[in-house]
Amino acid sequence: MENGTHYRTCHLCEAMCGVAIEVRDGHVASIKGDEDDPLSHGHICPKAVALQDLHEDPERLRKPVRRTTDGWQEMEWDEAFDLVASRLHRVRKEHGRNSIGAYLGNPNVHNHGSLVATMPFLRALGTQNRFSATSNDQLPHMLASLEMFGHQILFPIPDIDRTDLFICIGANPMASNGSLMTVPDFRGRLKALKGRGGRMVVVDPRRTETGKLADEFHFIRPGTDALLLMAMVHTLFEEDLVNLGHAEQWTKDVDLVRLAAMGFTPEAVSEQTGMPAADIRNLARQLATTPRAALYTRMGTSTQPLAALRPGLPTCSIS
């Protein structure tokens, strides 16, 4: 690396913090947050500082290696590519396409080159056995995005910097730095939200790091978020609080939503969710009457049986 300051993006998570890497005498002298980065404004977490350790680790792989009876042996790239290609070809021919499994993880999925090359490669492999960090915690979000917006990675991102009410269900951005929400320095942004008179409400089965900073915290029984949300929808219709505004032109079948939510009164879901009916109504009212409100859900609402609730999938019943 050339001497000087190199401005890059930390690719270890979706927060995508800007980093300034100072190089002296060919070595990393420091890694700091880039104050001019429009998204992270100089924030980084300890993982970005540790990039230097990864970079300079004496055991870092700088060439492909293969396991032999005499231990690991380095090899040249061309040889490695040929070996992998011939083995993949053989395995697929002998055992079928689905005999090959692929796993993608961070920081692979935050790398342009990798993103561009990986999809065609996976398509060429033709295996259905594809796994990633996504499989563990966000496929229901992707399914909802696909059905609502036409593409699985069109994720709605709450505008935390302009929001006055932030309702956070089953999410812990204080620990994850926002992940899909792409929000470096969540603590600083939360402070700014409170500074302009805003509030954060957290709903979670556990008093998380985020929950401890909430203005209002509600415990909910695990796996019952769908009931809470339907009861909130019910309340919005019941109290005539549905106002689509500009969204009206892109919205259809609103009456079907009203009918679907009809049986889900806050009283009906209260026992299963563990939340008092009055709290559920109050939550719906706050959401509807705060002009700049956002409702954010994340892993807690994803990794449970009702996570991808939609027509055609089993639904819950209220007795």
Whose structure tokens read 């293969």?
66
Please state the closest distance from residue 18 (CB atom) to ligand SF4, in A.
9
| Residue 180, token pair as written in the block | 């899909």
Within 26-45, the residues that bind ligand SF4 by CB under 6 A are 44-45
Q: Which is nearer to ligand SF4, 184 or 223 (CB)?
A: 184
- Do residues 152 and 145 make contact, with C-beta atoms less than 8 angstroms apart? yes
| Residue 129, token pair as written in the block | 């056995």
Q: Which is nearer to ligand SF4, 187 or 258 (CB)?
A: 187
State yes or no: residue 306 binds ligand SF4 (CB under 6 A): no
Please state the closest distance from residue 189 (CB atom) to ligand SF4, in A.
13
Please state the closest distance from residue 153 (CB atom) to ligand SF4, in A.
18
State yes or no: residue 48 binds ligand SF4 (CB under 6 A): yes
Q: Which is nearer to ligand SF4, 48 or 142 (CB)?
A: 48
Q: Which of 17, 169, 190, 214 binds ligand SF4 (CB under 6 A)?
A: 17
- Do residues 159 and 294 make contact, with C-beta atoms less than 8 angstroms apart? yes
Stretch that binds ligand SF4, among 11-19, 58-66, 224-232, 267-275 (CB under 6 A): 11-19
Q: Which is nearer to ligand SF4, 49 or 288 (CB)?
A: 49
Within 167-196, the residues that bind ligand SF4 by CB under 6 A are 177, 184
Please state the closest distance from residue 45 (CB atom) to ligand SF4, in A.
3
| Residue 183, token pair as written in the block | 């929000």
Which of 213, 222, 226, 215 has the alpha carbon at shortest distance from 269? 226
Q: Which is nearer to ligand SF4, 15 or 228 (CB)?
A: 15
Give a three-class secondary structure readout of the chain: CCCEEEEEECCCCCCCCEEEEEEECCEEEEEEECCCCCCCCCCCCHHHHCHHHHHHCCCCCCCCEEEECCEEEECCHHHHHHHHHHHHHHHHHHHCHHHCCEEECCCHHHCHHHHHHHHHHHHHHCCCCEEEHHHHHCHHHHHHHHHHHCCCCCCCCCCHHHCCEEEEECCCHHHHCCHHHCCCCHHHHHHHHHHCCCEEEEEECCCCHHHHCCCEEEECCCCCHHHHHHHHHHHHHHCCCCCCHHHHHHCCCHHHHHHHHCCCCHHHHHHHHCCCHHHHHHHHHHHHHCCCEEEEECHHHHCCCCCCCCCCCCCCCCC
Please state the closest distance from residue 184 (CB atom) to ligand SF4, in A.
5
Please state the closest distance from residue 296 (CB atom) to ligand SF4, in A.
17
* C-alpha–C-alpha distance, residues 221 and 257, integer Å: 24
Q: Which is nearer to ligand SF4, 41 or 221 (CB)?
A: 41
State yes or no: residue 10 binds ligand SF4 (CB under 6 A): yes
Q: Which is nearer to ligand SF4, 49 or 125 (CB)?
A: 49
Stretch that binds ligand SF4, among 5-13, 79-87, 191-199, 275-283 (CB under 6 A): 5-13
State yes or no: residue 13 binds ligand SF4 (CB under 6 A): yes
Q: Which is nearer to ligand SF4, 17 or 299 (CB)?
A: 17
State yes or no: residue 142 binds ligand SF4 (CB under 6 A): no
Q: Which is nearer to ligand SF4, 37 or 225 (CB)?
A: 37
Fill in the amino acid letter for 264.
F
Number of residues that bind ligand SF4 (CB under 6 A): 12
Residues that bind ligand SF4 (CB under 6 A): 10, 12-13, 15-17, 44-45, 47-48, 177, 184
